[in-house]
Amino acid sequence: MDSAAVRKTVIRPGVLEALVGLSVLVALSGVLMPAVGEEVAESRTVAALGDLQAISEGLARYSRDTLFLPTGVEGRTNVAWLYGPGAIPAGHSFGHGGEGRPLDDALLVNAMGGERWAGPYVAGLSADPWGHAYLVNADGWLTRQEQPLVLSAGPDGIVQTPDDAWEPSGDDLLVVLD
């Protein structure tokens, strides 16, 4: 057989093959996207729980060092709630008549602890993974009807947990302090 007689045949996909390939890709993305979305949601929840734990441990060290609860300057009781950076979540009932102060005042700078303050008590503070402020119910240390707790309002940004709760409500995340 003569080499000149051999022809190269190039097969090019047609429209039908391209549509089949595209439909396979669309079907795969429909299967994979929910799994990716669930992983992102789970990683945000894990990050928020880690932040809540770090804040609660920082508040415990603050109290141990200063001999004061984080309820006001050098143990005064005018601070009802503390808040971190970010948008204040809707629906919280903390601080019935008491003032709120930034968590920075206790954990990052000595604005409340007096001369025994030995912080900073956390490496830094940021908003929760959904852009909202972490909240601390400082009244819980002073009022028998409430619990001292650190809370994230979760993905919806609305606090659904009452201030006397031991467990979170809705999509809230919380750590109850001792």
pLDDT, tens digit, 9 for 90 and up, residues 38-88 = 666 688 999 999 999 999 999 999 989 998 888 877 777 788 889 999 999
95 belongs to a structural domain = yes
- Residue 109: pLDDT over 70: yes
3-class DSSP state for residue 130?
coil
16 belongs to a structural domain = no
Can you give the residue range of the structural domain that contains 67?
46-176
Q: Are 140 and 146 in contact (CB under 8 A)?
A: yes
170 belongs to a structural domain = yes
Strand order in the sheet with 99-102: 99-102, 79-83, 135-137, 149-152, 173-176
Distance in angstroms (rounded) separating the CA atoms of residues 80 and 69: 11
125 belongs to a structural domain = yes
Read off the pTM. Answer: 0.76
The tally of domains found in the chain comes to 1
25 belongs to a structural domain = no
27 belongs to a structural domain = no
CATH code assigned at 158: 3.30.700.10
53 belongs to a structural domain = yes
